[in-house]
Amino acid sequence: MIIHQPEIISAHGEAILQARIETNTPNTGLPETLWFTYPEHWAGAISTRSDSFLSALLLVAMTLGEDIECRGELSPRLCYNLAEYQKIFTYWQPKTFHPVQIRSDKILPAPISQSKPCYATTFSGGVDSFFTLHELLNPTPEKPNWPIKYALFMQGSADIPLSFTQKYQKLVKQYSMVTQNLGIELIPVRTNLMYFCDNRIALRSFLEAPLSGAAIGLGPMITGIFMPTGGLYKCYTDYTVGPITTHLLCTENFESYSHGSTNTRFEKTLAISNWTPAQKNLRVCSGWLDSETENCSQCEKCLRTRMILHSIGKLEKFSTLKPVFSFRETLRWGRWLELGFDWENESLKYAWSHKKKLVPGILLGILIGYLRHYLKLLLPEWIKQEIFKWTAEKDPHLIFDSAVENPREVKR
């Protein structure tokens, strides 16, 4: 794989950082260009080094088994760290990822900024994002204040594909107001990176790549990025935005941090349950509709979040979620329940201590969840396919079925 010299062009009020990508493997179906777009007034802060493109495309090259040649300047610190990064992924998924060599004739340290340190956090509007923002903006003696100035909001991730322009534009306006009220600038970013991983890499293994790629591109201005993680230390092999790998995605002038791996989803939801910005703007829905910016309140993620808020007596305070959690919805929550993350046990423990009248319903939902779990383990594959297509989330890969080669071709 060859990552050609990155360049910056301007179009439609955006600064576009792009690089041409060549592969040796025939008929890969990959786009010819990888690009990231930023607001045009950020053009002077964008780096044309290869660091952001290498961090974004490394896993793709590892699935192809192709060595990487970077034609732009490359950080020696990043190269050193990515050797360890590769070892981790080949250990976790040896059938998918294969070690590759990284080469460049321009191994040069990234220049150190002389301005005051300032940090950003990635932001999606979900529980993890609001928890990280809440923790960083509300320091304690044990956790001093961080100079957070920016929040990166991305289109082109598994959450908001490039085809969802209507949803993206609405959410940019909404979250710009939220962050402005918190003294933070929202930076809308778009990328076509997900088309490089489509049906090659499980999306849960590719969560860091678009975030790190977009953030490192702003290395001259931003000192570091916080990436909220939904995975705990004990299940880091299931989520790659986590403490094992995130810190390796750094250069001489840029640091990456994972945030939230010591806190369960229940603890995070409890922490933001009295915070007005979260109550008015929380977005957790996994419904794949461009026209919808509100939560459907019925999918697996909505039901999980509503159950937690229902258990702690805060559901009615969240205006973006259906306020009444019925007994029937408790059963639906059980139908969607995935075991191994302790979401159900924490809701049960809290209800047992504070709202015992909820305990029978939660126990019944858990029973349904356990039944589903063990049927998935024991039933023949052909029976499972028929049954669990009704109790499994849609395949998010389907929303990346037609690549957008040029950011200027995306409808506004």
Q: Please give the full DSSP string across 301-349, using - where no structure is assigned.
A: HHHHHHHHHHHTT-GGG-TTS-S---HHHHHHHHHH--TTS-HHHHHHH
Model confidence at 72: pLDDT above 70: yes
**C-alpha count within 13 angstroms, C-beta hemisphere, residue 86:** 23
Nearest to 82 by CA among 106, 49, 105, 54: 54
400 close to 195: Cβ distance less than 8 angstroms: yes
Nearest to 31 by CA among 411, 288, 410, 290: 410
Residue 312 token pair: 């702690």
Nearest to 294 by CA among 307, 303, 284: 284
The pLDDT of residue 246 = 83
Nearest to 92 by CA among 198, 249, 242: 242
CATH 3.40.50 fits 119-259, yes or no: yes
Kindly report, residue by residue over 150-195, the tens digit of the pLDDT.
Answer: 999 999 987 788 988 899 999 999 999 999 999 999 999 999 999 9
Q: Cβ neighbours of residue 234 under 8 Å, at least 6 residues apart?
A: none
Rounded Cα–Cα distance for residues 314 and 273 (Å) = 6
Model confidence at 392: pLDDT above 60: no
- The domain limits of the chain are 2-109, 119-259, 295-397
Q: What's the gap between Cα 338 and its chain centre?
A: 19
Query: Cα dihedral angle (43, 45, 47, 52), rounded to 10 degrees?
Result: -100
The pLDDT of residue 22 = 96
Model confidence at 53: pLDDT above 90: yes
Tell me how many helices (H) and strands (E) the chain has. 13, 11
Rounded Cα–Cα distance for residues 117 and 381 (Å) = 54
* CA atoms 284, 287, 289, 295: torsion sign: negative
Kindly report, residue by residue over 265-317, the tens digit of the pLDDT.
Answer: 899 999 999 999 999 999 998 766 666 778 889 888 899 999 999 999 999 99
**Residue bearing tokens 């956790």:** 143
Model confidence at 231: pLDDT above 90: no
Q: Cβ neighbours of residue 84 under 8 Å, at least 6 residues apart?
A: 248
- Which stretch of 122-131, 231-240, 342-351 has the lowest confidence by average pLDDT? 231-240
Model confidence at 3: pLDDT above 90: yes
Nearest to 33 by CA among 4, 68, 66: 4
242 close to 276: Cβ distance less than 8 angstroms: no
More confident residue, 376 or 30: 30
Kindly report, residue by residue over 246-256, the tens digit of the pLDDT.
Answer: 888 888 888 88
Q: What share of the chain in percent tops pLDDT 70? A: 88
More confident residue, 182 or 383: 182
More confident residue, 192 or 263: 192
Mean pLDDT of 58-69: 96
Model confidence at 201: pLDDT above 50: yes
Q: What angle do CA 408, 156, 239 make, to 5 degrees?
A: 160
The pLDDT of residue 139 = 80
The pLDDT of residue 411 = 43
Average pLDDT of the chain, as a whole number = 86
- Helices 300-311/359-378 angle, 10° precision: 150
Q: What's the gap between Cα 3 and its chain centre?
A: 24
The pLDDT of residue 237 = 55
373 close to 334: Cβ distance less than 8 angstroms: no
Residue 269 phi/psi, 5-degree rounding, is -65, -40
Rounded Cα–Cα distance for residues 334 and 332 (Å) = 5
Beta bridge partners of 150: 120, 185
* CA atoms 287, 292, 297, 303: torsion sign: positive
